[in-house]
Every structure is written in structure tokens, then in C-alpha cells.
Amino acid sequence: MKLYFIAGEASGDLHGSNLIKQLKQQQSDIQCRGWGGDLMQNAGMHLVKHIKELAFMGFAEVVANLPTILSNFKQCKQDILSFKPDAVVLIDYPGFNLRMAEFCKKNGIKVFYYISPQIWAWKKNRVFKIKKYVDEMFVILPFEKQFYADYNFDVHYVGHPLLDAISQFKEEKPNSLFSSEKPIIALLPGSRSQEISVMLPVMLNATKEFSNYQIIIAGAPSKDENFYKPFIQNYPNVSLVFNKTYELLSQATAALVTSGTATLETALFKVPQVVCYKGGLVSYHIAKRLIKVNYISLVNLILDKEAVKELIQNDFNEKQLKQELMAVLPNGSKRESVLKNYETLAQLLGEGGASENVANLMLKTLKNASA
């Protein structure tokens, strides 16, 4: 049995790797090939192209990198046809993966989609393309099953894969990596070059007076230390770690987090946070007219209320960020309410097992097809 995977971001690499592990655990002879990152490669996938070559953020940035993106489409299509998989497994990354779903379906290749694009936020018309080109969709947020049901498309709700990843981390109980002399404020400025360049300087300025805390940055897996040096060279007391985000969150007292999967990870580690986002001016104004949700963080979207503070665009500035950070630190005015909301969030998400659930469903479909 052969499966071709496509993930384009760090979170997709994480969830794809756990899925591959489950698939191989249940059927050891599965051949896995595709696009992803180090984690998927380490799980047993033959890596064709790395995620660090794929992540482009925002409308303007996509246009600027269009020749590269078009070249990627061509390369991916040729590689899939050469590999002749029994199915393609698409993981989030909708701008690329929805086009690949159409290509695969038209070439008679079964299409599995794991982690739905956030079409409930914008571009709802994409649901019709998904219905047409995706054989089975596996969703990870509780409200997504009903969203698709409203369009007469039956999808599988499998639970959120972060629950498994965090549970596994806690079971392994790694030794403390950080000094316990001072409590930690974690900075999670994102994974793409553009967003880090915008978010990190403001985060650093906002925390420079918190001398009673260790300020530690979670470096993106696709970057190296040299990328961060220009940002931190004037902050001698700031530390930088790579591939240690969970260790960092397990010890952090509070966090400043760029909107994305990291907001949910931070919440599941029960770390009070301030959610931050600032995009390019053109991209932001386009998105503001198109996006139809009240919140940008997964925590608030799932709870359907402002459980954690979101500082977006002009509100994301040193003064407001410092003020909101103080509110979620010990004895801060918002800390207890944030932690209480995290308890509700955990109840809504329920138990883990997403990777195992998806693997079971995929293998069942493939075995039935070959019977």
C-alpha cells in the first residue's frame, strides 16, 4: 500500500508524523512519500520537498512568490503520478492542497483530507470544491462536523491531534531544561519569516522591563539561530531555543503568542496568553473584508467568546501588549478567568486519539476498496 502526503506548515508536519506512525503501527508495509518536514521524515516518510521551501504568508506575499508556487504545483503533480499512490493524504495547507485534490481526483487517485481548511471563516464556497474532489474529510474541531452537515457533506470528527501530541510529551516527562531561578515568559512569534519579522520586535520591546522573568523565544523549526540574531542582539538576557516549544510551555508562567495552532497548544498547557497578529497592510485589509468570524485564535473560536485577549493589527503595539501581559501574570486581573476558560476548552475537546482514529478510518476505506 502506498500513500502520498502533502503538508506545508510546521503544524501539518507534526500531525502528519503522528498519523504516519499510527498507520505504520497498524500496517508496517505502507510506503509513505510526500512533502512535509523533519518529523514526517523521521516517522518514515520519504521526503520530496521540505516545508521550509513552501510557507508563503498573505495575499501580497503569495503573488510575489507565484513563479515558485507554480513550479511547486508542477513538481508535485509529476511526482504523484510517478509514485502511483493508493491515496493522497492532504493535511491542511488549503491554497495548495485544494488544487492538488482536484488534480488527484481527476487522475483517479483517492483523496483523503486531514484537518479541514478554515472555510467556515472565509471562502465558504470552497465547500463545494471539497465535496467534489475529496473522498473523505477528517475534521478536528467540534463545530466543523455540523458546518459540513449544513452543506450535506458527511465528514469524520476525529478529535484534535494536539491532545495526543501533548499527552505523549507529558508521559515522557522530560527533565527541566530551564533555570528555575526566575519564572518564564514564553515568546512564540510564529513560524514564517514574514510574521516573525513583524511580531518578534514588538514582543521583545514589550517584555524588556520584566527583569524578574526569563524571556525565552521558541524558535521556528524551519529557521536557524542566524535568522534570529538581528532581532535579539540588543537583548542579552533573552534566550532562544529550538524544537523545545513543549518543554518551554510546560514551564512558562505566561506567553505572547502569534495567532495559529500555537494558541491552542499554549491553552492546553494551561499557560495564560496574549494572542498577537499583524499582517501586511494590503493582506490585512483584504482579509478584513473576507473573513467572517469574530475571533482569530482557535481558543476563542472553539469557545465562541473572548477567553484570551487578541491584539490585532494596530492594537498590536508595545503599550497594549505590555498591559495585557501584566493582566495574565500572577496576581494579574485576567489570569484566573483565562485559566477557568481553559478548563471549559479541555472539556469541549474531549479525549485524544485523533491520529489513531484517522489511521483506522483510512485503512478501513482502502481495504474495502481493494477487497
- The DSSP line for 271-315 is --EEEEE---HHHHHHHHHH---S-SSHHHHHHTS-SSEEEEGGG
The lowest-confidence range among 132-141, 205-214, 282-291 is 282-291
Closest CA to 213 of 235, 230, 195: 235
Give the mean model confidence (pLDDT) for residues 260-268: 94
Report the 3 state secondary structure along 308-327: CEEEEHHHCCHHHHHHHHHH
What pLDDT, on a 0 to 100 scale, did the predictor assign at position 46?
Answer: 98
Instruction: For the chain, list the domains and their CATH numbers.
Output: 2-159+353-370 (3.40.50.2000), 170-349 (3.40.50.2000)
Q: Of the given ranges (66-70, 126-130, 263-267, 284-288), which has the lowest mean pLDDT?
A: 284-288
Q: What is the mean pLDDT of residues 256-266?
A: 93
In this predicted structure, what is the pLDDT of residue 178? 80
| Sequence-distant (≥ 6) Cβ neighbours of residue 78 within 8 angstroms | none
Given a cut of 90, whether residue 128 has pLDDT beyond it is yes
pLDDT value of position 282: 46
Rounded distance between C-alpha atoms, residue 196 and residue 279, angstroms: 11
pLDDT exceeds cutoff 60 at 324: yes
Q: Could you give the CA distance from residue 270 to residue 54 in angstroms, rounded to a whole number? A: 31
For the chain, the straight-line distance linking the first and the last C-alpha, in angstroms and rounded, comes to: 13
| Average model confidence (pLDDT) across the chain | 90
Q: Which of 141, 134, 64, 140 is nearest to 98 (CA)?
A: 134
- H/E stretch holding 197: helix 193-207
Of the pLDDT bands very low, low, confident and very high (cuts 50, 70, 90), residue 228 is: very high
Pick the range with the lowest mean pLDDT from 163-177, 180-194, 235-249, 265-279.
163-177
**Predicted structure pTM score:** 0.79
